[in-house]
A and B are shown apart, each in its own frame.
Chain A
Amino acid sequence: MTTNTSTLPEYLIVGASIAGGAPQDLLVRDGVLAAVGPSAAADASAAAITIDAEGLVALPGMVDLHTHLREPGREDAETVETGSRAAALGGFTAVHAMANSSPVADTAGVVEQVYRLGLASGWVEVRPVGAVTVGLGGERLAELGAMAESRASVRVFSDDGVCVSDPVLMRRALEYVKAFDGVVAQHAQEPRLTEGAQMNEGDVSAVLGLTGWPAVAEESIIARDVLLAQHVGSRLHVCHVSTAGSVEIIRWAKARGIDVTAEVTPHHLLLTDELVRSYDPVYKVNPPLRTSDDVHALRAALADGTIDVVGTDHAPHPSEHKECEWAQAAMGMTGLETALSVVQHTMVETGLLDWEGFARVTSVAPARIGRLAHQGRPLATGEPANLILVDPAARWTVDPATMATKGRNSPFRGLELPGSVRATFYGGHPTVLDGRLATPRPAAGPATAQEAPAWSI
C-alpha cells in the first residue's frame, strides 16, 4: 500500500496564512498534512514541489451541502464531471449532489451511481443526497436505510426542489433517519401558499404583476419543522433560508436547544428582488431573491451562528431554459465558482466574519452536518490534506462563458468580486494549481482495488 502512495508527489506550501493567521509552511504528503509550521520545510524531501503561498490564505477545503449536478438525466445541464470541476475551481473538496435527478436518487442504485461517478471524476468528493420520498412525490418514504447502508453511505436526505409538506411524513422521516445518524434537509415551501409563485411577494411583485412567493410560506414550514424535530428529538437541516422571519424562528429554536442547522446561499447574501425588475430570468430562483432587509438579516445570522453554513444551491440550466419569458423560465442559478468570492465580499470584507469564521461556515460546519469525517478538519499535522489556497487581494470580473460548469446562468455576471482560489488540494492531490484545473485525484489504485468507502477518503 505504501508503495502505491509513496510515489505521489509531495507539496511544500510556503508562507500561507492559515485562516488569516501568521504565515506558515505546510507539507502535503500521502494525502495528509505531514507537517505544519517550521518543521515542514525540514521534513520535506528533496523532490517536494514548492508552492509559494505568500499573501495567500490557507483554508480547509470548502464543503457544499447543496448542489445540483443534474446527472443522471439532465446531462445537457451538468454532469458530475463538469459540476465537480466547477467545484474544485471554486475551492470545494466535497459537494453534496441533490436527489432531484432523473431518475430521482431515491434508491441505493442511483445514489451509488452518483457516488461512483464522483469517484471516477476525482475532482472533489461527491456525496449523493438521498430523496426523502419516492420520486420526490411526497407520498411515501424512499428506502432511506438502503441508501444509508449503500456504498454511498448517504447521511443527508432531502426532497430539495419540493417541500416535504405532509406533516406526518416529515415527522416520520425525521424519526426514521435517527437509526443511522441521518439528517433531513428541508426545502421549506408551503405548496398551497406558493402555487404559481414567481418571485418574492412584496412591493416589487405588486408592480411587476408576478405571482408572489410570500415569506410566510417558508417561515410557517420552518416553524412546524423545528417543533417536529423537538418533539421527536431529531436532527433537522433547513436549506436555503431566505427571509428575516425564518432567521428569527431558527434563532428561537436554537435557544430552546432544538437540533436544527440552517443554510444560506451566496445569492441570498447579496442580491435582492429589485433585480427582477429587468424580468431577466437569470434572477429567477427558488426560494426567490428577497429584500434588502432580508439580506442584512441573513448576513447577521450567518455571522452570529444562527445560520450555520453557506450552501450554493448550484443549479445549472441549459440556456433555452433561461432565454424565455420569466414565467416559463427555470428556477436556479450557478454558484460553485462564485461562492467563495461572494462570501468574502458580503461577509469577510464587511467585517462580519474573519477567515476562521469563513472556514466554519463553508467547511467545518457543513462537513459536520453531512458527517464527512475527513472534511472540514483543522489544518494541522496529521489531518487529511483537504485545503485551498486563496488570494484574498485578487479582483476578478465574473464571466459565465469562461466557467467550468455547463450552466451559464450566473446572476453575478459582470460583477467585480474579490478573492480567487489559487490551489485546491483534495485528499493531498492538487486538483487546482495557479487558479486553473490541474488533474483529478486518481481513482483508488490496485493496492486498494476495493472502492474506498466514502468516509475513508
Chain B
Amino acid sequence: MKHLLSTQDLSARNALRLLDVAEEMSAVGEREIKKLPALRGRTVVNLFFEDSTRTRISFEAAAKRLSADVINFAAKGSSVSKGESLKDTAQTLEAMSADAVVIRHPASGAPARLAASGWIDAAVVNAGDGTHEHPTQALLDAFTLRRHWARIGGGPSAGTTLAGMKVLIVGDVLHSRVARSNVWLLTTLGAEVLLAGPPTLLPIGVGSWPCTVYYNLDDALAQRPDAVMMLRLQAERMNAAFFPSTREYSRRWGFDDGRLALLDTMGLHDTVIMHPGPMNRGLEISSAAADSPRSTVLAQVRNGVSVRMAALYLLLSGDHHDEQDGEMHDELPATTPEGRIK
C-alpha cells in the first residue's frame, strides 16, 4: 500500500493485514510505556481542512506512539483560509519532507487528488473526505466487530474475518462517508450488510451496492443483526426537506429505548450498538442505548488509535507486500523491525 484512500479499493488481504497489525498495536497501548520506535525520524502531517478534534487527536496519538514527528496543520487560521490552493499546500508540505499526510477535507476525492496529482510524494491517508469515504473509521469499526465476533466464537480475533456476521447501518447513508467505507470494507471481510434509513437519505444508485436496503428500521431489526451502527444526523440536513421533522426522524429511524428493549425481547443478547460519534443523544440514539452495555462507542474510540497506528506503520515501514497474490492471511509481517511488540 502506498496510500490509504478508500476501502472500496482495499483488498481483503490488505484489510486483514491492517486489522492484524492493529491487534498487535493495541497490545502496545496496554503497556506502561505506550511507545514504539518504529517511525522515529519520520514526519506525519495532519492536514485538516475540516474541524475534527476526535479524528485528529486519534491520528496524533497513533503517530506519536510510533515515535513519528507530528505536525498539525489546521486550515482555519492558516494560509489555507487566505485562499491558498490544495496544490500549494501540498507542495509546501512536500518541501518540508513530510513522509505521510493525513488529510481531512470537505471535498469528496481531495485525498485521491492529492495522491494522484504528483504534487507530493508522501503517503496519503484519507481521514474523511466529503461524503465519500472515511477508511480508518471503517477499519476501527471492523476491528471492533471482529473482536466482538471472535469473543462470541471463543477464539482470538487475529486472522479471522467477519464471515457470518450481519451488520445493520442506519440513518443518513447519502451524506455518510462512514457508511460508504463500512459497506465496502465489511462486505470485503465477509459480513452481510443491511442499510436502513429514509428513502431521501439513501443515494440514487444504492441498488448496485452489495447490501439490502430497508426503509423501515423495525423490518431491518427483524433480520436479527449482530450489530447496529447508528449514523450521525448532520444538523444541516434538518432544513432541507429530507424528512419532515427531527421528531419524526427519531421515531422512525432513531435507536430509542423501545428498540433497545426489543433486542432483549428478540433474544439478541450479543447484538452490539455502534456509533462513530459524536452522537446526537435523543435523536438518532437514545441515552439509554448509548450508555448500555451493548454500546461499543468507547471501544471504537480506543480501537481507532490501534488501527491508525497500523495504517501509518504499514504505509511508512516500506513493507510493500500488497502487490503479491496469495492467501488472504498468510504469515504476518514482522510488525516492527526491532521486534519490540511481543
Taking a contact as CB atoms under 8 Å apart, the answer to whether B204 and A324 are in contact is no
In the complex, how many angstroms separate the beta carbon of B198 from the nearest chain A beta carbon? 16
Contact (Cβ within 8 A) A320 B85: yes
A314-348 residues at the B interface, CB under 8 angstroms: 320, 323-328
Specify which chain A residues have a CB less than 8 angstroms from the CB of B131 in the assembled complex. 209-210
A: number of interface residues (CB 8 Å) = 23
Contacts of B116 in A (CB 8 A): 278-280
- Interface stretch, picked from A197-205, A241-249, A363-371, A409-417, is A197-205
Supposing A279-B113, A323-B87, A324-B87 touch, asked if A207 and B205 sit within 8 A by C-beta, the answer is yes
- A452 sits at the interface (CB 8 A): no
Q: Does chain A have a CB within 8 A of B108?
A: yes
Known interface pairs A279-B113, A324-B87, A325-B113. Does A209 touch B8 (Cβ–Cβ under 8 Å)? no
**B177 to A209, Cβ gap below 8 A?**
yes
- How far is it, in angstroms, between the C-alpha of A204 and the C-alpha of B87 when the chains are bound? 26
CB distance from B126 to the nearest CB of A (A): 12
Q: Quick one: which of B125-165 are within 8 Å of A by CB? A: 129-133
Q: Which residues of B contact A205 (CB under 8 A)?
A: 203-205
How distant is the Cα of A234 from the Cα of B108 in the complex, in angstroms? 43
B105 at the interface (CB under 8 A from A): yes
Given A209-B130, A209-B133, the answer on whether A326 and B204 have CB atoms closer than 8 Å is no
Name 23 A/B residue pairs within 8 A (Cβ), A-sorted: A198-B108, A203-B208, A206-B204, A206-B205, A206-B206, A206-B209, A207-B8, A209-B129, A209-B177, A209-B180, A210-B109, A278-B112, A279-B108, A279-B109, A279-B113, A279-B116, A323-B87, A325-B107, A325-B109, A326-B109, A326-B113, A327-B108, A327-B109
B8 touches A324 (CB 8 A): no
Q: How many whole Å from B178's CB to the nearest CB in chain A?
A: 11
Q: Would you call B272 an interface residue if the criterion is a C-beta within 8 Å of the partner chain's C-beta atoms?
A: no
Q: How many of B's residues come within 8 Å of A, CB to CB? A: 27
**Closest residue on chain B to residue A319 by CB atoms:** B87
In the complex, the answer to whether A324 meets B86 with C-beta atoms within 8 Å is: yes
Q: How far is the CB of B86 from chain A (nearest CB, A)?
A: 6
**A212 CB within 8 Å of chain B:** yes
Q: Let me know if B120 is at the binding interface, CB within 8 A.
A: no
| Contact status A325-B205, CB under 8 Å | no
| Bound Cα distance A209, B8 (Å) | 13
A278-B116, A325-B86, A327-B109 given; 8 more Cβ-contact pairs under 8 Å: A198-B108, A206-B204, A206-B208, A208-B132, A209-B129, A210-B130, A214-B204, A327-B130
A201 touches B87 (CB 8 A): no
Interface check B11, CB cutoff 8 A: no
Which A residues touch B177, using CB under 8 A? 209
Within 8 A of B (CB), among A252-300: 278-280
- A322–B58 alpha-carbon span in the complex (Å): 33
Residues of A within 8 A of B113 (CB): 279-280, 324-326
Q: How far is the CA of A325 from the CA of B109 in the complex (A)?
A: 7
Chain B residues close to A by CB (< 8 Å): 8, 85-87, 105-110, 112-113, 116-117, 129-133, 177, 180, 203-206, 208-209
Min CB–CB distance B315 → chain A (angstroms): 20
Q: For residue A206, which residues in chain B have a CB less than 8 angstroms away from its CB?
A: 203-206, 208-209
CB distance from A146 to the nearest CB of B (A): 39
- Report Cα–Cα, A206/B203, bound state, in Å: 6
Cα distance, A377 to B257, chains bound together (Å) = 77
Give the residue among B133, B177, B203 with the most A Cβ atoms within 10 A.
B203
6 closest Cβ contacts across the A-B interface? Answer: A206-B205, A279-B109, A209-B132, A209-B131, A206-B203, A325-B107
Q: How far is the CB of A84 from chain B (nearest CB, A)?
A: 31
Q: Report the minimum CB–CB distance from A370 to chain B (whole Å).
A: 37
Interface core residue of B86, B107, B117 (most chain A CB under 10 Å): B107
**When each residue 209-221 of chain A gets 1 if its CB lies under 8 Å from chain B and 0 otherwise, what string results?**
1101010000000
**B85–A208 CB distance below 8 A:** no
Residues of A within 8 A of B85 (CB): 320, 323-324
Chain A 225-256, CB-CB to B under 8 Å as 1, else 0, gives 00000000000000000000000000000000
With a cutoff of 8 Å between Cβ atoms, the chain A residues found around residue B109 in the complex are: 208, 210, 279, 325-327
B204→A201 contact, CB < 8 A: yes
In the complex the two chains form, what is the Cα distance from A94 to B108 in whole Å?
Answer: 40
Q: Which residue of A lies closest to B5 (CB)?
A: A279
A203 touches B117 (CB 8 A): no
Is the CB–CB distance between A204 and B117 below 8 Å? no
Nearest-CB residue, chain A, relative to B114:
A325
CA distance A167 to B133 in the complex (A): 40
User: Inside 8 A of A280's CB, which chain B residues have their CB?
Assistant: 113, 116
Report chain A residues within 8 Å CB of B132.
208-210
- A204-B205, A209-B180, A320-B85 given; A325·B110 CB < 8 A: yes
Q: Please determine whether A328 and B107 come into contact, CB atoms closer than 8 angstroms.
A: yes
B248 to chain A, nearest CB (A): 23
**CB contact between B107 and one of A204, A320, A327 (< 8 Å): that residue:** A327
Whole-angstrom distance from the CB of A208 to the nearest CB of chain B?
Answer: 6
* In the complex, chain A residues whose CB is within 8 Å of the CB of B87: 323-324
Residues of B contacting A207 with CB < 8 Å? 8, 180, 205
Q: In this complex, which of B87, B106, B113 has the most chain A Cβ atoms within 10 angstroms of its Cβ?
A: B113
Select the residue from A214, A280, A320, A325 with max chain B CB neighbours within 10 A.
A325
